[in-house]
Structure 1
């Protein structure tokens, strides 16, 4: 092996829209990246679904391309992917169905029967930490296949979440990862820390391979180059890994995008019915510890209402996003009755505002009030002293300043960490490919001080 080659790890970061691959050097700097998008297919019901063949081809072709790059020595491969969909394999590891969309409408009669058999909807949701979300409760997708396509189901040898299917492509070893199983799948009983009884009663446990720890690696079977392969991680759980490794004090992470998800790795108190009713749930961390989370559709509402403001006042959305906090405008907003209901601003008449700046300050104020209410659901302890915001809202001055005002006893940070899910998946295998210490400066933090 040429000692002048740069040791790297390849991470496939598979999102619903964009499929990316990154090569990280031993300092976790990106030295190569490539992305692809694929046209969705239609399943047998005419619903859109992932093109699994195209995705498989992308992974295999890209790995071959990376192997052919002379300056890099590929030491390991891992996967970060959305996990709310299953791939069904036969004994030869051949996919038997399309990769069904987790937004596919779910037959209500199947869930009604399941809930009735296992203590009712609320009890079932509390035990599995899975709000009733239809196909987003990915375990119910497996049950649906058994109920609706029994002749095909008989040939299913393995049911793998997407990250583990991609790993199996390279190793030939089917695995189960706790971060995928533990994420609103309705499969895991958080009270007894194993699969829920319904999984055994339906015989689904036989389809789920053995669980392996987050840092497990296997030899690849596709290449003689000798790189190791991880078992893959659910993307949301992978994104928290860099923060867990950086912070020694208890913290909350608000990951902002279309959904704004508040994650508290230091709160594993059982879910209450009230919390569940307000869209709280559990994730399982990469070491199997429950992470209490709350969700808010804040990014979507922000996008829709900012467009409404821009259209009404004849300005560009980008102008609104770049606004700095104006205390005078905020005082005008505070003098009005502002609800913490996320959708309250959509009912506000824009003619009540003197300018687009005033309207936008009002919108963000509404959003932050809603976000603060959502985040407080999972705090549960005065020990939490740090609050980090990553994603789109971390660059929004008005949002961050108002959030700091909502949590005056905490240190509030705008966090910048591009490709957090991919870096988390790389860090999970650090000991297997990297002889350097983990760098401490990967997350760029900007302390928000109210001014």
Structure 2
């Protein structure tokens, strides 16, 4: 007898994953792939959208044909700040522009001149960073910088909804993607910001539906419930919000480390210069206070430099365990030695210095400095809230040095980690289900682990 499962495509910037979950949300199958980036028309690296779409269909059709599983539902979780622009035939018009791509300053200046002041924009959209990380600005940039392309756009879909479109052929929008630091949404009136209507951009944005919406359709002869997709960070948060009754902060780590506080009633930052304060949206439309840190990106850059400096293999850092004596040797006369390339911090030196003889020592120094940045980010999102619980998921939940240090510096809080690979995927599965989650859900489904601070000698 075939096992009934829910399928989820969980698409990160690096790894593209496919999961099958049984009716108790236990993982029964997983596979993943990486694609080499391609270049957009300006030579900037970007997602290979054609290869991604081909892989989606190949994997799904193969699993559908197997005798082992009966797919009852499928949903999609992807990174945000990314639009796919479709022509009238439903074909992508442009590359999937990388959100790290720089755009001309005169475009940003023109936007602020028309729709500023910046303070008002920040206070209503929860989005201080005017760049392509703000996907609404991408639409403005294309309209005014690439008018020949813009006039041929029938619909612009956020990436999660594009993956759903690949299967259902219906263009839709949903709240978590719209509310993810896009600059499109006015949290005060719960509608698109005025500039969206004044620019006529609302005409290329599909109808908005609930994140829990699904379409029942016949796909290759099988009756399947197909979801509309969800932004990965909002998906990662969903399981915690539904199963944890006490206040908490979730630190979702990866290329970006995002700290979420879903319990702050004053969620939108008033600091114009704080580009790391952003907002997300829960599936019920409520804003979520968040801070971001380019943790995984900076970690990758610095570890590659350490690999070269100490002439070790590129995977060597994965073997490093926390060493108490090494850490206390570092903090005895602590100094900052690393100059960040993708993070700005007033404490960093003008250039990197590595006054260590061993990789392990330099690595502990690197992780200490990165965790100090992480602590600032978490404290900022906690604010004045009485929050005693921290959950960490994503790639750094498996990093022993990171977790030991975080637990040490937050000795007054209960620190828990969950399985690094499941957060957003399980959230996407839950989003299209009718199940209620109990307090043991994280323990049973996310390999929840408790962490106790190490004893200071």
Report the TM-score when normalising by structure 2: 0.87
In 2, the alpha carbon distance for the partners of 1:164 and 1:289 equals: 20
**Which of 17, 40, 43 does residue 43 from structure 1 map onto?**
40
Matched, 1:70 2:67: yes
Which deviates the most, 158-167 or 124-133? 124-133
Aligned equivalent of 1:28? 25
Aligned equivalent of 1:390? 393
Correspondence 1:275-290 to 2 at 5 A: 277=274, 279-290=276-287
Correspondence 1:297-336 to 2 at 5 A: 297-309=294-306, 311-313=308-310, 321-336=318-333
Matched, 1:80 2:84: no
Matched, 1:363 2:360: no
RMSD (Å) for aligned C-alpha atoms: 2.9
Aligned equivalent of 2:253? 256
Which deviates the most, 191-200 or 355-364? 355-364
Cα-to-partner distance string for 1:280-309 (whole Å, 9 max, x where unaligned): 110112222211111122333334444544
Instruction: Please state how far the C-alpha of 1:181 moved relative to its aligned partner.
Output: 0.8
Aligned equivalent of 2:101? 104
For structure 1, the 5+ residue unaligned runs are none
In 2, the alpha carbon distance for the partners of 1:98 and 1:358 equals: 42
Give SS of 2:124's match: helix
Aligned equivalent of 1:202? 199
**Which of 402, 409, 414 does residue 411 from structure 1 map onto?**
414
Instruction: Please state how far the C-alpha of 1:163 moved relative to its aligned partner.
Output: 1.1
Alpha-carbon contact 2:267-2:279 (below 8 Å) kept:
no
Matched, 1:139 2:165: no
Matched, 1:120 2:112: no
Alpha-carbon contact 2:269-2:278 (below 8 Å) kept:
no
Instruction: Please state how far the C-alpha of 1:324 moved relative to its aligned partner.
Output: 4.2
Cα-to-partner distance string for 1:374-404 (whole Å, 9 max, x where unaligned): 1111102443121112233323333323222
Correspondence 1:224-263 to 2 at 5 A: 224-263=221-260
Give SS of 2:393's match: strand
Alpha-carbon contact 1:342-1:370 (below 8 Å) kept:
no
In 1, the alpha carbon distance for the partners of 2:167 and 2:307 equals: 48
Aligned residues: 445
Aligned equivalent of 2:402? 399
Matched, 1:8 2:8: no
Cα-to-partner distance string for 1:388-442 (whole Å, 9 max, x where unaligned): 122333233333232223222211123224232111111111228x9xx968511
Change (3 A) 1:391 1:19: closer
Cα-to-partner distance string for 1:173-223 (whole Å, 9 max, x where unaligned): 211111111111111122332211110100111221222112111123543
Aligned equivalent of 1:269? 266
In 1, the alpha carbon distance for the partners of 2:242 and 2:453 equals: 28
In 2, the alpha carbon distance for the partners of 1:320 and 1:35 equals: 22
Change (3 A) 1:323 1:54: closer
Matched, 1:180 2:174: no
Alpha-carbon contact 2:243-2:441 (below 8 Å) kept:
no
Change (3 A) 1:34 1:300: closer
Matched, 1:377 2:380: yes
Matched, 1:450 2:447: no
Instruction: Please state how far the C-alpha of 1:114 moved relative to its aligned partner.
Output: 0.8
Change (3 A) 1:79 1:345: same
**Which of 166, 169, 183 does residue 166 from structure 2 map onto?**
169
In 1, the alpha carbon distance for the partners of 2:302 and 2:280 equals: 30
For structure 2, the 5+ residue unaligned runs are 337-343
Which deviates the most, 387-396 or 280-289? 387-396
Instruction: Please state how far the C-alpha of 1:15 moved relative to its aligned partner.
Output: 2.3
Cα-to-partner distance string for 1:211-265 (whole Å, 9 max, x where unaligned): 2112111123543311011100111211222222331111111122232221111
In 1, the alpha carbon distance for the partners of 2:312 and 2:370 equals: 21
Instruction: Please state how far the C-alpha of 1:318 moved relative to its aligned partner.
Output: 5.5
Change (3 A) 1:275 1:28: farther
In 1, the alpha carbon distance for the partners of 2:213 and 2:174 equals: 10
Change (3 A) 1:170 1:307: closer
Give SS of 2:418's match: strand
Aligned equivalent of 1:349? 353
Give SS of 1:59's match: helix
Give SS of 2:444's match: coil
Instruction: Please state how far the C-alpha of 1:75 moved relative to its aligned partner.
Output: 0.7
Give SS of 1:117's match: helix
In 1, the alpha carbon distance for the partners of 2:424 and 2:158 equals: 17
In 2, the alpha carbon distance for the partners of 1:404 and 1:192 equals: 40
Aligned equivalent of 2:423? 420
Alpha-carbon contact 2:17-2:33 (below 8 Å) kept:
yes
